[in-house]
Amino acid sequence: MIYRSPLPDVEIPGGTLTELVLGTAARHGGKPALVDGVTGETLTYAELAEGASAGAGGLAALGVGPGDVVGLLSHNQPRYALAVHAALGAGAAVTPMNPVLTAGEIGKQLRASRAKVLVTAEAVADKAADVAREHGIEHVYVLGEHDRARPFAELLAAGHPAPRPDLDPATAVAVLPFSSGTTGAAKGVRLTHRNLVANLVQTRAGWRVGPDDVQAAVLPFFHIYGFTIILHSGLLGGATVLTLPRFEPGAYLAALAEHHVTRAYFAPPMVLALANAPDVERYDLSALRYAFCGAAPLDVEVTERAERRLGCRIRQGYGMTEASPGTHQVYDDAFATTPAGSVGRLSPNTEARLVHPGTDTDVAPGEDGELLVRGPQVMLGYLDNPGATASTITGGWLHTGDIARVDDHGVFWIVDRLKELIKYKGYQVAPAELEAVLLSHPGVLDAAVIGVPHAEGGEAPKAFVVPRPGVEAGDVLAWVAERVAPYKKVRALEFVDSIPKSPTGKILRRVLKERG
């Protein structure tokens, strides 16, 4: 059975992401598009459009054009949007990276995406410069100033005319985030201009972000939730996007009050922190009308506690990197009537099926099944990995690796995660990557990693390790911690005699999960 959105299909404009979101910039002119919640630095719509166009000219003069990739390593700040749209304006794609990644992890992504230019935040410019040197990336620009990188502002000031790259929005990649999908290590996800344009107009049908809105953007733009749902839906609506580099409950609440934030976007650990934070009632949050949560499962009791304290309903969205990311949302109009634990209804132009896990056969109506989704927001495919693409998308249907349920009103619940992916604070952690790091330790004979419940992170990686005699658990944990970003750290370790595997050598993760 195919489930469809109750909303009528929307028309998907034919242009690029930049044309869609900055096409109306002239109309908003001097209105702040982005405000830095810490420094107060503001970028108006006119400045963003002019800067992006000048930056595109500067990048084109360096030889950057269609088919090229620009790496972007930064926390949230107004200039992030400038860097994105300068790259897109030159016809290139952006590969976004978490600034806490290790030099090794950044190098891996830059190499896999064949990035030609690296744009970095000041705070991580040293690391960026080291990696760029190691990988032969000649052009390193910093959003600010640093002695080991050229200021990005220099590209804007050079006065090169904006290029007019000849792009087909249906095939030109705009963003190349990395995701492990249903199995294995992180892979480049080829999201085209059309994928993103589609997802923005699709979600706009349910969420009417407008010029009176102020969106709090603490969830990172380097993750697709922040990129599409927070940053770009805000720009498309002519809203003001308030950037915050990190989440700290007190500072966050103060920013919501000071900037009269109307729409807040959470991941589950933020909701938990706000449910338990002292003095929430001290802040005037009367402007806050809609609060959203996504990226990982959210507990209903925690939701209700946070709602009471914030004085605002919190409803979930759902999606995945491979779907640009949104497929399910609680429409503004249905906020009061859609249950808190659900992920709402399908976005327009989006279809869903529930199948027996790992197959293409529908479950009986009313049964839980693996969620498949189909729509114009589904990626072109993984980068350089036709095998993974073919097993993830069959007949246009994206296999999410999540188990879902749907009720008679077309409301969906995510009830379990079938795929091996671990989500720590909503961030992706791929067991396969950690297993490779563990196996590189000379004292490790075999290893497997699963997600286990974790108070703060929701879920965290636990390793089962077959050690050589004399190996200490602490050494193994330190070995991993030195090689991966802090959020990927193995947080529990158990020595075992063997790893349960299928006859074909696949790790039986369910067996380990049952053991806990």
Binding ligand 4UU (rule: CB under 6 A), the pick from 90, 175, 229, 411 is: 229
Minimum distance, C-beta of residue 151 to ligand 4UU, in the bound complex (Å): 32
CB-nearer residue toward ligand 4UU: 16 or 428: 428
CA 294 – CA 78 distance, rounded (Å): 23
Per CB under 6 A, the list member of 417, 425, 462, 509 interacting with ligand 4UU is 417
Rule CB under 6 A: is residue 297 a binding residue for ligand 4UU?
A: yes
Closest to 482 in 3D by CA, of 128, 123, 102: 102
**Which residue's CB is nearer to ligand 4UU, number 90 or number 398?**
398
318 binds ligand 4UU (CB under 6 A): yes
Q: Fill in the per-residue mask, 176 to 195: x = in contact with ligand 4UU (CB under 6 A), - = not in contact.
A: ---x----------------
Separation of CA 205 from chain center:
21
425 binds ligand 4UU (CB under 6 A): no
- Give the binding range for ligand 4UU (CB under 6 A) out of 56-64, 270-278, 292-300, 457-465: 292-300
Shorter beta-carbon distance to ligand 4UU: residue 259 or 417: 417
- If one counts every other C-beta atom within 10 angstroms of the C-beta of residue 384, the result is 13
Beta strand residue intervals within 89-166, DSSP E: 93-97, 117-121, 139-143, 150-151
Tokens at 357, concatenated: 């896990």
Residue with tokens 């249905």: 334
Which of 472, 473, 470, 471 minimizes the C-alpha distance to 462?
Answer: 473
Shortest separation between residue 140's beta carbon and ligand 4UU, angstroms: 27
The stretch among 61-69, 128-136, 240-248, 396-404 that binds ligand 4UU (CB under 6 A) is: 396-404
Does 294 bind ligand 4UU (CB under 6 A)? Our answer is yes
Q: Hey, which bits of 366-498 come out as E strands? A: 369-374, 381-382, 393-394, 397-406, 412-417, 422-424, 427-429, 444-454, 458-467, 492-495
By rule CB under 6 A, what count of residues binds ligand 4UU? 25
DSSP state letter for 287: T
Contact status: 375 vs ligand 4UU (CB under 6 A):
no
For 186, the token pair is 């992180």
- We find the least distance from the C-beta atom of residue 321 to ligand 4UU, in angstroms, to be 3
Is residue 222 at the binding interface for ligand 4UU, with CB under 6 A as the rule?
Answer: no
For ligand 4UU, give the closer residue by CB, 405 or 423: 423
240 binds ligand 4UU (CB under 6 A): no
Q: How far is CA 288 from CA 129, 263, 414, 439, in A?
A: 41, 6, 26, 48
**Residue of the chain from 45, 152, 225, 382 that contacts ligand 4UU (CB under 6 A):** 225
Q: Helices in 210-356 by DSSP H: which ranges?
A: 224, 233-237, 249-258, 268-276, 300-310
Residue in the block written with tokens 């009632």: 281
Residue 291 binds ligand 4UU (CB under 6 A): no
**Count of CB atoms within 10 A of residue 350's CB?**
28
H-state helical runs in 370-499: 386-392, 431-439, 473-483
Q: For residues 93 and 379, which CB has a smaller minimum distance to ligand 4UU in the complex?
A: 379
Reduced to 3 states (helix: H, G, I; strand: E, B; else coil), residue 331 is coil
CA distances from 278 to 128, 260, 309, 361, 417 (A): 38, 20, 10, 49, 33
Exactly one of 316, 350, 377, 392 binds ligand 4UU (CB under 6 A); which one? 316
β-bridge mates for residue 143, sequence order: 121
Single out the segment in contact with ligand 4UU by CB under 6 A; choices: 41-49, 148-156, 395-403, 471-479: 395-403
Segment interacting with ligand 4UU (CB under 6 A) among 3-11, 325-333, 356-364, 391-399: 325-333
- Rule CB under 6 A: is residue 321 a binding residue for ligand 4UU? yes
Using an 8 Å Cβ cutoff, are 119 and 143 in contact? Answer: yes
Position closest to ligand 4UU via CB: 317
- What is the Cα–Cα distance from 437 to 435, expressed in whole angstroms? 5
Helix (H, G, I), strand (E, B) or coil at 189: strand
Is residue 400 part of the contact set for ligand 4UU (CB under 6 A)? yes
Interaction of residue 457 with ligand 4UU, rule CB under 6 A: no
Q: Does 402 bind ligand 4UU (CB under 6 A)?
A: yes
Q: Which of 428, 434, 447, 461 binds ligand 4UU (CB under 6 A)?
A: 428
Q: Find the DSSP H helices in 346-394.
A: 386-392
The residue ranges that bind ligand 4UU (CB under 6 A) are 179, 224-225, 229, 294-297, 316-321, 325-326, 329, 343, 400-402, 414, 417, 423, 428
